[in-house]
Structure 1
Amino acid sequence: MAQKNNIRSLVFIALFAALFIVMSAVTIKLGGSFLPFTLQTLAVAITGLFLKPRDAFLSILIVIVLTAIGLPLFSGQGGIATLTGPTAGFIFAFPFCALLVSIAVGALLRFKGAKQNKMIAFILFFIIFELFSSLCAYISGVPWLMHVTGYSLPKALVAWFYPFLIGDALKSVVATILAISLTPYIVYIRASTANTETNESSYNV
Structure 2
Amino acid sequence: MKTNNIRSLVFIALFAALFIVMSTISIRLGGGLVPFSLQTFAVVLSGLFLTPRNAFLSIFIVIVLSAFGLPLFSGQGGWATLTGYTAGFIFAFPFCALLLSLSVGRLLQSPSIKQNKVIAFIAFFIVFELFSSFFAYVPGIPWFMHVLSMSLPKALVASCYPFLLGDAIKSFVGAIVAVSLTPYIVHIRTSTVNKRMKETTITL
Aligned length: 202
- Alignment check: 8 A CA contact 1:187 1:200 kept: no
| Structure-2 residue corresponding to 1:65 | 64
Spell out the pairing of 1:116-127 with structure 2 (5 A cutoff): 116-127=115-126
Of the structure 1 ranges 50-59 and 27-36, higher mean CA displacement relative to structure 2 is found in 27-36
Separation (CA, whole Å) in 2 of partners of 1:182 and 1:83 = 34
Q: CA RMSD in A?
A: 1.0
Q: 1:73 to 1:189 in 2, by over 3 A?
A: same
Cα displacement string for residues 62-115 of structure 1 (whole angstroms, at most 9, x for unaligned residues): 000000001111111111111011110000000000001100000000011111
Cα displacement string for residues 149-201 of structure 1 (whole angstroms, at most 9, x for unaligned residues): 11111221122111110000000011111111111110000000012215545
- The AA in structure 2 aligned to 1:97 is C
Extract unaligned runs of 5+ from structure 2. none
- Alignment check: 8 A CA contact 1:58 1:95 kept: yes
Mapped pair 1:135 → 2:134: yes
| Structure-2 residue corresponding to 1:93 | 92
| Structure-2 residue corresponding to 1:165 | 164
- Alignment check: 8 A CA contact 1:191 1:198 kept: no
Extract unaligned runs of 5+ from structure 1. none
| Structure-2 residue corresponding to 1:3 | 2
TM-score scaled by length of structure 2: 0.96
Separation (CA, whole Å) in 2 of partners of 1:64 and 1:8 = 22
TM-score scaled by length of structure 1: 0.96
